[in-house]
């Protein structure tokens, strides 16, 4: 009978430790162990019974007790315990301690997971929208002009023209699609050699204003080719200064790719299919502001012709001018090539107005 009792107590212990994963709160643990100890206490009430006390044989039971109640060799029930009921209580108490310790580890891990999830959801919920995402499209209606459209949206004429590459203000047509910026300012694409700090100085606006307007997470990671909306920035080249056909062709050759949508994105210039080593000429006189390697563009030259007007020449094999140098219209500035992200020998040519690439064919003569 003593063996049967011991087996029963062992099964109880296994049930306690085995079911710990289903006890998730302190209240549940308290109720569970209170019930277990209540069952065990019934054995203490039977100590006075002769049948119960005679079961204990000192020599045999000691070895059995050590074997039965030693858990993983980590502890043994004190052989001074007087009866089986007290031994069971000690076993239950140790099991409860083990159970609570493991539950604490499990609960702590669960809390960390929950907090990480809440933090992630919080981060997503407060993500700021860029002003670029708020640009709208306006379809030109009968009787509208650039001035009436600008007034309708609360922006100035330079903001409207600059966002839409309008070379001739008198040639808009019914049904034309115009981009409408959400605020006064300009669209600007970062050139090789530029960063947010140099752009902020150039247009006399704060770096914080640029970062906020464009929802930039890390200003140090912004790369050339990125488009920005510069709120409040004044165009360096206004609509009154626009004069068509001021530029000459930089090379003589077939145009292999035009300005506009290409391969799922906008192609910001035109490509001339020419052999490597073809002379590349300045499309207009100006000062060289960049002449070196640029990621994606290969060997590149950028010339500023006046405030707000620049040209870019990319994928060259050799550069023949340096930064700060003044060049005349028609002067050879580089030899064409196939450097950078290029699918074959060609010259990539851009005209930029206020930092925004425009269709060169509207300005070449």
* pLDDT score recorded for residue 48: 46
Q: What is the largest CA-CA distance in the chain?
A: 120
* pLDDT score recorded for residue 59: 45
Instruction: State which residues of the chain have pLDDT below 50.
Output: 2-11, 13-24, 43-44, 46-82, 84, 88, 90-91, 93-96, 98, 101, 103, 106, 122-125
* pLDDT score recorded for residue 356: 87
pTM score, whole prediction: 0.56
SS (H, E, C) the chain: CHHHHHHHHHHHHHHHHHCHHHCCCHHHHHHHHHHHHHHHHHHHCCCCCHHHHCCCCHHHHHHHHHHHHCCCCCCCCCCCCCCHHHHHHHHHHHHHHHHHHHHHHHHHHHHHHHHHHHHHHHHHHCCCCCHHHHCEEEECCCCCCHHHHHHHHCCCHHHHHHHHCCCCCCCCCCCCEEEECCCCEEEEECCCCCCHHHHHHHHCCCHHHHHHHCCCCCHHHCCCCCEEEEECCCCCCCHHHCCCCCECCCCCCEEEECCEEECCEEECCEEEECCCCCEEECCCCEEEEEEEEECCCEEEEEEEEECCEEEEEEEEEEECCCCCCEECCCCEEEEEECCCCCCCCEEEEEEEECCEEECHHHCEC
Q: Which long-range contacts (CB under 8 A, 24 or more apart) does 241-247 make?
A: 241/308, 242/161, 242/167, 242/169, 242/353, 244/167, 244/168, 244/362, 244/363, 245/363, 245/364, 245/365, 246/284, 246/363, 246/365, 247/283, 247/284, 247/311, 247/351, 247/360, 247/363, 247/364, 247/365
Pairing of strands 185-189, 356-358: unpaired
* pLDDT score recorded for residue 294: 93
* pLDDT score recorded for residue 169: 72
Q: Which domains does the chain have, with CATH numbers?
A: 2-125 (no CATH), 131-241 (3.10.350.10), 254-362 (2.70.70.10)
* pLDDT score recorded for residue 262: 81
* pLDDT score recorded for residue 243: 56
């Amino acid at each position: 009978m003593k063996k049967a009792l011991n087996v029963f107590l062992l099964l109880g212990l296994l049930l306690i430790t085995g079911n710990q994963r289903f006890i998730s709160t302190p209240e549940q643990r308290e109720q569970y162990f209170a019930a277990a100890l209540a069952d065990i206490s019934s054995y203490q009430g039977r100590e006075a019974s002769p049948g119960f006390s005679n079961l204990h044989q000192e020599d045999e039971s000691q070895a059995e007790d050590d074997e039965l109640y030693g858990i993983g060799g980590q502890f043994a029930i004190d052989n001074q315990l007087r009866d089986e009921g007290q031994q069971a209580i000690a076993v239950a108490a140790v099991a409860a301690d083990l159970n609570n310790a493991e539950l604490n580890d499990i609960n702590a891990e669960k809390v960390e997971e929950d907090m990480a999830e809440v933090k992630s959801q919080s981060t997503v919920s407060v993500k700021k929208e860029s002003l670029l995402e708020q640009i709208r499209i306006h379809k030109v209606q009968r009787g509208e002009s650039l001035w009436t459209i600008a007034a309708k949206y609360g922006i100035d004429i330079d903001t409207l023209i600059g966002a839409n590459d309008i070379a001739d203000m008198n040639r808009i047509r019914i049904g034309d699609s115009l981009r409408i910026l959400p605020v006064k300012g300009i669209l600007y694409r970062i050139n090789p050699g530029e960063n947010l700090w140099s752009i902020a100085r150039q247009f006399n606006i704060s770096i914080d204003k640029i970062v906020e307007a464009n929802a930039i997470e890390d200003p140090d990671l912004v790369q050339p080719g990125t488009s920005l909306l510069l709120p409040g920035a004044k165009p360096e080249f206004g609509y009154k200064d626009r004069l068509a056909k001021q530029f000459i062709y930089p090379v003589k050759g077939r145009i292999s790719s035009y300005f506009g949508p290409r391969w799922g994105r906008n192609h910001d210039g035109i490509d001339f299919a020419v052999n490597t080593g073809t002379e590349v000429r300045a499309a207009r006189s100006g000062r060289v502001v960049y002449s070196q390697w640029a990621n994606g563009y290969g060997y590149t030259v950028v010339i500023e012709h006046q405030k707000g007007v620049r040209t870019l020449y990319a994928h060259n094999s050799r550069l023949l001018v340096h930064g700060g140098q003044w060049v005349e219209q028609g002067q050879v500035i580089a030899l064409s090539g196939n450097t950078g992200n290029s699918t074959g020998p060609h010259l990539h040519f851009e005209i930029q107005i206020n930092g925004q690439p425009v269709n060169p064919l509207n300005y070449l003569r």
